[in-house]
Amino acid sequence: MSAQILIIEDEEKISRLLEMELNFEGYVTGKAVSGIEGLEKALIGGWTVILLDIMLPKLSGIEVLRRLRQAQVSTPIILLTARDTTSDIVHGLDLGANDYVKKPFKMEELLARIRTCIRNQQLITSLRSPKEGESDVIEFDDLSIYRLNRTVMRQNVRIDLTPKEFDLLLYLVRHRNQVQTREQLINHVWGYEFVGDTNIVDVYIRYLRKKIDYPFKGQLIQTCRGVGYCIKEGETRED
């Protein structure tokens, strides 16, 4: 079955070019010309990748992204941006975008990023799903992770995580007691070669600690200064 790509872009020339090139590569495409239309189509589901312009009429691309991630839509999203500031790019990545390309972009580069998104999404899906004969539940210390329904419990208290927070926690637990560098976490959790500030990892570690560690006794997420992070059995909290 061909991958299906939703193009949310209001510039007709760019939208048409993307449609023609993607169709030529064998992808099935859908189009939307405004943020509202794009959000509605994206929420229907069935898309393999979403190409999302940041500057859209009626509803900005950033707001579309925020609402999709809030609705737990985990489809890979590549931002199309004419903006060149690191803060704009990092903001989009913080909200859950998987990658970005700057306009004007080379089609070969965009196609490569699409292939990478698809490949990494397949990898992440396989990591989330239990293998045959393997339990759905991963237990570590007093933490329980239910992969199929993406639920996390600690000391019998349910913890609500965003999709990216869940993926980060799952990866750390799968590699318990092993220090993971920021670059490793970026590549395996975000699923692409991140170009820029790896501060996004620190931001999400803080998010996780507020939910996983601070309300409970014992700190699971440990910092290895100058290297990265790991998860270990609960230790005395670092203040």
Domain ranges of the chain: 4-128, 137-235
Range with the largest mean pLDDT of 34-48, 198-212, 224-238: 34-48
From the candidate CATH numbers 3.40.50.2300, 1.10.10.10, 1.10.260.40, 3.40.50.720, the one assigned to the domain spanning 137-235: 1.10.10.10
158-169 average pLDDT score: 87
Can you give the pLDDT at residue 49? 95
Task: Name the percent of the chain lying above pLDDT 90.
Answer: 44
Query: What pLDDT, in 10s, does the model give residues 63-102?
Result: 999 999 888 888 999 999 886 656 667 778 778 888 888 8
36-64 average pLDDT score: 93
Within 2-76, residue ranges assigned H as helices are: 12-24, 35-44, 61-70
- 182 φ, ψ to 5°? -60, -40
In CATH terms, the superfamily for domain 4-128 is Response regulator (3.40.50.2300)
pLDDT exceeds cutoff 60 at 239: no
Global confidence as pTM? 0.63
122-150 average pLDDT score: 74
Token digits for 51?
A: 């190409």
The gap between the terminal CA atoms of the chain, to the nearest Å, is 52
Token digits for 7?
A: 């193009």
Contact yes or no for 47/4 (Cβ under 8 A): yes
